[in-house]
C-alpha cells in the first residue's frame, strides 16, 4: 500500500512525474467503479500533455 507522504519523492523520481500529477482521491479498492468521472477526467487531462 502506498503511503504518499513518506514515499512521495520516490514516486515522483521513479515515475518521472511532477507533484501536480499526483492525485489523492478518497476511495477504496474499486476506485474506478466508485468515482469513474473523476478518474476519467484525471486520465484524460494527463494524456493531453
Span 9-27, pLDDT tens digits: 888 899 898 888 888 888 8
Condensed to tens digits (0 to 9), the pLDDT of residues 28-37 reads 888 889 999 9
Is pLDDT larger for residue 6 or for residue 23? 23
Q: Is the pLDDT of residue 49 over 60?
A: yes
* pLDDT score recorded for residue 7: 82
- Work out the percent of the chain whose per-residue pLDDT is above 70: 94
pLDDT for the residue 2: 58
Contact 25, 18 (CB under 8 A): no
Q: Are 24 and 4 in contact (CB under 8 A)?
A: yes
Amino acid at each position: 500500500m502506498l503511503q504518499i507522504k513518506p514515499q512521495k519523492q520516490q514516486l515522483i523520481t521513479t515515475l518521472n512525474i511532477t507533484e501536480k500529477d499526483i492525485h489523492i482521491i478518497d476511495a477504496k479498492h474499486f476506485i474506478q467503479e466508485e468515482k469513474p468521472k473523476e478518474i476519467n477526467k484525471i486520465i484524460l487531462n494527463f494524456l493531453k500533455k
